[in-house]
Amino acid sequence: MGLIIAVFIFVIGLFVLTKSASKIGVNRYLLLSGWILKLFCSVLFVSIFSLEGFDGTSIQGDAYNFFYDSGILADYAQVDFWGYLKLLFGFHDNEAQLAITELAKTNIWSYGNNGDLINDNRLIIRINSVIHLFSFGNIYVHILIFSGLAYAGLILIYKAFLPFVPNKNLFFIFLAAFPSIAFWGSGLTKEALTIFALGLSFYCFNRILFTKKSAGLIFGLIIGCLLLLFNKPYVGIILLPFLSLLILGQRCNWKTVLIPLWLTGILCGIIIFSYAPEKINFVTKLSNRQQDMVNLGKGGLFFVTDTTFCAFEYKYFDHFDTLPDNKIKVLKETQGECKLFGRNPFYPFTISASENQYERYLVQKPSRTYIDVTPIDNSGIQLVKIIPESLHNTFLKPFPNKELGFYSVILFAMNLILIILVILSIYFRKKLTEKEKYLISFLVSASLLLLLVIGWTTPVIGAMVRYKVPAEILILIAVSILIKPLKKTVQ
């Protein structure tokens, strides 16, 4: 039954796109080809992340956890639907008790409990739990809905920037067919929802700024911004303030002399937040995030006590016993690190063997794509020093190597394609209007800061590839605006 629903969703997508092609402003066959590409990438996603072959149910990694945990939430809905609704919207008055009863078997639902490590995953889990109510547990129903959201986001991005792009079909091809965007926007990941949020935010913002204001557009902008902030906080925190450049341009009749002043203001703001109190300190946040990602990249065992978050290297795996119901027990005295909830620095400590059972947070094998990065160590000067290293990592790595094999070749090729497109767009650039200069300044500065943050904090190439998707979208928009009109046969 689930497979029938998946096929139905795909066919409905074809029908809607066929009827909407003229309104969207894209060639019908190009629009349908993009949706078929989504289906192909969805199947590819499931096959690559499959544990037991191509059976459509056994996937691994984050996608597995989102799918598995959401199924447990959906099971809870069968027991207490009113309680499930309260949990769905974050109003449940006894969530902590649920985490050790009905939701005890979830893998990552409790990530948000201590408020310290990684972004909260509950938004994706909640959305998937709703899909579970009619998917009959078929992974393709979930994948296609997320693919549909991402494709809608790409269409909205296309519509938002269409007035400034001379090569319209080429612009759509860039958005729909660029490998990393096509693949990660077709899976059960945060990136698919991020693409939708970007599209909704850009479309509503540009319509409000350049054409007309309406309650519907304002509501859509609010929803898009909230999705960015709750799904990918660093993307929302960077992009939303940067939109002020376009507001400034519109209010000041697009006087380009103000662009350097605005960029200087942004730089001053970053410096000020580098000396702010710990809870909002820019350097501290990046340093802590880097340390968290280093811990995950190197692998290890992570669990929580009543007051402390504990981390141990994966080589000590046999010192622990992983028990049912997300519990863990210490079998041998082991050296590791810990930090108190609400505090960021990790401190060395030794835990003794005991019969105590702790809440298991994560057991992670070392990543095959881990790379060494220079520690930030809460130093603003260090942050500046490693800017070349960060951009090198995000723009060029991984280089083809034997350890990652063909995977490294594909990733390097994607980086190379993006760099070549940037070079070609600069060489064949058109004469920009004052308004387009503002757009390019916004897109380039925001994408560079996104890439810097990713390079500063992410020592795992496999994660970096996903995290770069929003920045790649911004760069492709800039490329499409910059490049001069091609021959009509390529339009």
pLDDT, residue 487, reads 67
CB contact at 8 A, 445 and 244:
no
Confidence of residue 99 (pLDDT cuts 50, 70, 90): low
pLDDT, residue 342, reads 61
pLDDT, residue 440, reads 96
Main-chain phi, psi angles of 303, to 5 degrees: -150, 170
How far apart CA 171 and CA 34 sit, in angstroms, is 13
Q: Is pLDDT larger for residue 89 or for residue 336? A: 336
pLDDT, residue 343, reads 62
319 has pLDDT over 70 = yes
* CB within 8 Å of 138: residues ≥ 6 apart: 1, 2, 3, 5, 6, 56, 57
CB contact at 8 A, 396 and 449:
no
pLDDT, residue 4, reads 87
- What is the arithmetic mean of pLDDT over 389-405? 86
How far apart CA 198 and CA 158 sit, in angstroms, is 11
Confidence of residue 58 (pLDDT cuts 50, 70, 90): very low
11 has pLDDT over 50 = yes
- How many other CB atoms are there within 10 angstroms of residue 327's CB atom? 15
How far apart CA 3 and CA 308 sit, in angstroms, is 44
3-state secondary structure of 432: coil
pLDDT, residue 97, reads 63
pLDDT, residue 10, reads 87
Q: 160-187: per-residue pLDDT in tens?
A: 999 999 999 999 999 999 999 999 998 8
Q: Say if residue 398 is preceded by a cis peptide, omega within 30 of 0.
A: yes
Q: Is pLDDT larger for residue 273 or for residue 104? A: 273
Confidence of residue 90 (pLDDT cuts 50, 70, 90): confident
468 has pLDDT over 90 = yes
- What is the arithmetic mean of pLDDT over 427-455? 94
95 has pLDDT over 70 = no
- What is the arithmetic mean of pLDDT over 17-32? 86
* CB within 8 Å of 450: residues ≥ 6 apart: 234, 235, 238, 468, 470, 471, 474
- What is the arithmetic mean of pLDDT over 362-387? 88
Measured over the CA atoms of residue 69, residue 70, residue 76 and residue 80, the dihedral's sign is positive
Backbone conformation region of residue 253, classed left if phi is above 0, alpha if psi is from -120 to 50, else beta: left
- What is the arithmetic mean of pLDDT over 445-457? 94
Confidence of residue 137 (pLDDT cuts 50, 70, 90): confident
pLDDT, residue 51, reads 46
155 has pLDDT over 80 = yes
Q: Is the pTM of this model over 0.75?
A: yes
- What is the arithmetic mean of pLDDT over 382-396? 92
pLDDT, residue 170, reads 94
Q: Is pLDDT larger for residue 420 or for residue 404? A: 420
Q: What are the beta bridge partners of residue 59?
A: 50
pLDDT, residue 217, reads 93
pLDDT, residue 53, reads 36
Q: Which residue type does 473 have?
A: I
Would you mind telling me the total number of residues written for the chain in this entry? 491
Domain range list for the chain: 2-194, 253-284+373-490, 300-364
197 has pLDDT over 90 = yes
57 has pLDDT over 50 = no
Q: 292-307: per-residue pLDDT in tens?
A: 888 778 888 888 887 7
- What is the arithmetic mean of pLDDT over 324-353? 84
